[in-house]
Chains A and B, each alone.
Chain A
Amino acid sequence: MDSLDRLEAETITILREAYRASTKPCMLWSIGKDSTALLWMARKAFLGRVPFPMVLLETHMELPEVYTFRDELIEKWQLDYFAQICPPESEVDQTLPPATRAAARKTEGLRTMLREQKFDAVIVGIRRDEQAMRAKERVFSPRRIDGTWDVKEQPPEFWGYYTTSVPDGAHLRVHPLLSWTELDIWEYTLRENIPYVPLYLARDGKRYRSLGEKNITVPIDSNASTIEEIIEELRATRVPERAGRTMDNESEASFERLRAGGYM
């Protein structure tokens, strides 16, 4: 088994544990490379059928190519999908910096969805190498009733024994991609021939390295027009993946505040 085989087996195992431990799970699908690779592995884990809905936290601010790609994949893979509409920026914590505030709309959308639909497990495709606060996550992260995350009070988690019980009304966050890196995801996408949004490929010297909403994400300078070239580019660069995400870089604590509030 090579490195990707082992990562894939770990992710499939986590997905099956999440499905077994919950009564009403769902998976967040931002339609980016990570959650689409995760969706691919969910199809493997459940032998071609994804036994839970895929949810887009909808801000109506994704790039048009993202919506096109979404519609094609729903049709092609016959996905159980719905969009959860997020409230406007005026309804989120006004003390957050502007781009962080824009991102926090998704936190509010997620809270509304949990309250109304009572999902007890939310599967999310975050990775440890993306961001320092995400690096502190557990694979199974019990959230409080209000959906918030207490980084100081996480349960012990070792040998693949996960905390799978939460009080009524609270939910589990499940993170099957924590051990993957950005490079792993692209190498896997290439190997498995997984579909992806074409915005990741360079056009006129620019490409999106990380796909966020159009008001808070900027493309990077790049000539990588194939996945092979993206992989080459990533092997050489020391620029962090989310450098183009405005909200990560507004203040030292802005992302920590987002995550403590329940952001992915």
Chain B
Amino acid sequence: MDLRVAITGHVDHGKSTLIGRLLYDTGSLAEGKAEEILASSERRGLAVEWSFAVDAAQEERDQAITIETTRVWMHYGGRRIVIIDTPGHREFIKNMMSGAADADVGILVIDALEGIADQTYRHAYLLRLLDVPEIIVVVNKIDSVPDAEQRFAQISRDIRSVLETAGKPLRAIVPVSARDGDNVVNRSERTAWYAGPTLIDVLVALHPAAPLADRALRFDIADVYRFSDDERISVGNVVAGTIAPGDRVRIAPSGATTRVRGIKRFPEDGSPARAGEAVGLTFEDPVFIDRGDVVTHADQPGMLATSAFDGVFFWLSASPPRVGETLQLKVGRAEVAVTIAGIDETIDLGILDKVQPDESSRHTAFALRLRAARSVAAEADARCVLLRAGEVVGGGKLAHVEPASGQRADNLVLAGHLISSGARAHRNGYRGLVAWFTGLPGSGKSTIAMAVERELFARGYFVYVLDGDNVRSGLNRDLRFSREDRQENIRRVGEVAALFADAGAIVIASTISPHASDRAAARAAAHGAFHEIYVRASVETCESRDVKGHYAKARAGDLPDFTGVSAPYEEPEHPELLVDTNASPVDTSVSAVVEYLVHAATAKEALLSYSI
């Protein structure tokens, strides 16, 4: 197998030149290529531009920059090495990631004169995020600095401290001059103070990692084929371990167990499949299997069925992640809608330091809390991407995976209902949903909620109000008013509301729920059946009503952290419905909500989307 080596580093530190030099000195340039490079360099009035060996596009040559990643093959000492060129400009970092992601080795090129620069940090971080197994640092243009030995020692110290921060040991640090060829393939006499290996010596000592055949089985289902009537073949990849006919297996996220009947290949079936292979499986029982499912051995700890993920994502879009936003998550072959429930941390990679979340931008990393619309098979450290409107906007790894339903068993099996939501909706004639009332204390939530409940009940709907204060007297009586307890209060209301809705009820959840992230979590819990209704009234209006006397107490200092007085209320940005009680009488608001909910529960598309 070819060793894949990605050349990374800051712009103009000499990545492409290093590649040209490697190809030339190992005799890997095709016949006529050296002559073409000379001619093309001369045409542009340049000295020999070795980077033309990889910068093939006209714009790349004219501007002397690398835009798009590329691959060339190098031969040395009987080994075949794929050299992956990557661009050093910040604007082309998606191309750097695309090139370096499957490398076995990352070479980080640093200009001896300039030292560690912005993209040096960013690429160092990305090599870690991408899980590139080995990193080599090349200190280039070593001939251009006066006290080379001292400068090399200084840069070595600096880069070690950066890469230690990024948690990755270095394979080697080599001083080179790519332009002249010092210590690339041939040992240089100009660096007599350096006793270590040349770059090529370091490279040929490395080998690509073998597939994980001796690990526990993990088979990712990519598709299910039914080319003949009698046989369903689940095709996919053996990511780790070995699978053989007769093996007893468990399928995540459903938790179903069965036995492998056959390993399907063409032209001949049979024989166990090992890590790295792409084969088909048939099973003894008629289990339901879909793309994204993961097969493990039944006697091993299974994969998690989960809908709650924490992860760190490198961001590739100019538009940052927003709390409450719904994106697509791809993990393994599974794809699922996820809502961002929170942004825990923002990491600017230029200085590898934490910055304030509102300074977010492209090429920053974010620690995100995600809630999925349904359970998928996943595990900690799984590589995944986030998509917005079909475009990859972030790539990263799951840091922490919480089992579905908050249970912390590592082989949780979800019980599957035999009645679908569609069947319930069909019999009732409407679908269950969560109407989430949010607004300041005194805005009129409870008053409107109770009136809406009475009206819908009168019309024959199964409807129930989960009122914030009422829930606190029972289900949530163990909770106080700290930030954590308030968050937990809302979480429970959200989960209970989601269960009611799944059972077919129209649930009106009426709480202040001042934090957008808590509401986003409740939205995610309801799997698409969530309708945010903002009951809006100004603080002055609410305070003038003060039905419960809370505002007076809060002003007197007797009620700490009172929303609207001494604690903030984050207004919903895009509520499904806004009712303004500043001016409108209660009856008008009630009618508006009833009309909206009846439509949402009975609209043809709402029923269709649930019919299976």
Please encode chain A, from 36 to 49, with 1 for each CB lying within 8 Å of some chain B CB and 0 for all others: 00000001111111
Shortest Cβ gap from B363 to chain A (Å): 12
Interface-central residue, A2, A9, A237, by most chain B CB under 10 Å: A9
Tell me whether A154 is interfacial, beta carbon within 8 Å.
yes
Interface-central residue, B30, B278, B291, B392, by most chain A CB under 10 Å: B278
Q: Specify which chain B residues have a CB less than 8 angstroms from the CB of A51 in the assembled complex.
A: 227
Chain B residues in the interface with A (C-beta under 8 A): 1-2, 27, 29-33, 36, 40, 54, 56-59, 67-73, 94-95, 97-98, 101-102, 130, 210-211, 222-223, 225, 227, 233, 235, 237, 264-267, 274-278, 280, 291, 316, 330, 383, 385, 390-392, 395
Stretch at the interface among A53-61, A125-133, A219-227: A125-133
Instruction: For B27, give the chain A residue with the smallest CB separation.
Output: A238
Tell me whether A240 is interfacial, beta carbon within 8 Å.
yes
Tell me whether A64 is interfacial, beta carbon within 8 Å.
no
Q: Specify which chain A residues have a CB less than 8 angstroms from the CB of B211 in the assembled complex.
A: 1, 6
Chain A residues in the interface with B (C-beta under 8 A): 1-3, 5-6, 9, 12-13, 16-17, 19-20, 43-49, 51, 128-129, 132-133, 135-136, 138, 151-152, 154-159, 161, 163, 165, 181, 237-240, 243, 252-253, 256
Q: Specify which chain B residues have a CB less than 8 angstroms from the CB of A16 in the assembled complex.
A: 222-223, 235, 278
- A133 in contact with B57 (CB, 8 Å): yes
Our pick among A43, A45, A129, A157 for the contact of B98 (Cβ within 8 Å) is A157
Q: Specify which chain A residues have a CB less than 8 angstroms from the CB of B97 in the assembled complex.
A: 156, 158
- B56 in contact with A1 (CB, 8 Å): no
Q: Specify which chain A residues have a CB less than 8 angstroms from the CB of B392 in the assembled complex.
A: 155-157, 161, 163
Q: A47-B264, A154-B95, A239-B30 are in contact. List 13 more A-B contacts (CB 8 A).
A: A5-B276, A9-B237, A16-B222, A16-B235, A20-B223, A43-B266, A44-B266, A45-B278, A156-B392, A158-B395, A239-B31, A240-B30, A240-B33
21 A-B contacts, Cβ less than 8 Å apart? A3-B1, A16-B222, A44-B266, A46-B225, A46-B227, A47-B233, A51-B227, A128-B71, A129-B71, A133-B57, A152-B67, A154-B95, A155-B391, A157-B98, A158-B102, A159-B395, A161-B330, A163-B392, A238-B29, A239-B31, A240-B31
Q: Specify which chain B residues have a CB less than 8 angstroms from the CB of A132 in the assembled complex.
A: 54, 56, 70
Q: A9-B276, A240-B30 are in contact. Are A181 and B56 (CB under 8 A)?
A: no
- A6 in contact with B225 (CB, 8 Å): no
Shortest Cβ gap from B358 to chain A (Å): 25
Shortest Cβ gap from A201 to chain B (Å): 23
Q: A13-B237, A158-B395 are in contact. Are A1 and B277 (CB under 8 A)?
A: yes
Our pick among B31, B71, B101, B264 for the contact of A158 (Cβ within 8 Å) is B101
Q: Specify which chain B residues have a CB less than 8 angstroms from the CB of A128 in the assembled complex.
A: 70-71
Q: Specify which chain B residues have a CB less than 8 angstroms from the CB of A44 in the assembled complex.
A: 265-266
Shortest Cβ gap from A92 to chain B (Å): 20
Shortest Cβ gap from B64 to chain A (Å): 15
- B71 in contact with A238 (CB, 8 Å): no
Instruction: For B59, give the chain A residue with the smallest CB separation.
Output: A152
Q: Specify which chain B residues have a CB less than 8 angstroms from the CB of A129 in the assembled complex.
A: 71-73
Instruction: For A15, give the chain B residue with the smallest CB separation.
Output: B278
- A136 in contact with B56 (CB, 8 Å): yes
Q: Which 4 A-B pairs have the closest CB atoms?
A: A158-B101, A132-B56, A165-B390, A156-B94
Our pick among B30, B59, B98, B276 for the contact of A1 (Cβ within 8 Å) is B276
- B266 in contact with A48 (CB, 8 Å): yes
A151 to B56, CA, bound (A): 11
A19 to B59, CA, bound (A): 34
Shortest Cβ gap from A186 to chain B (Å): 14
Instruction: For B95, give the chain A residue with the smallest CB separation.
Output: A154
Q: Specify which chain A residues have a CB less than 8 angstroms from the CB of B59 in the assembled complex.
A: 152
- B266 in contact with A156 (CB, 8 Å): no
A155 to B391, CA, bound (A): 8
Instruction: For B53, give the chain A residue with the smallest CB separation.
Output: A132
A154 to B87, CA, bound (A): 13
Q: Specify which chain B residues have a CB less than 8 angstroms from the CB of A9 in the assembled complex.
A: 237, 276-278
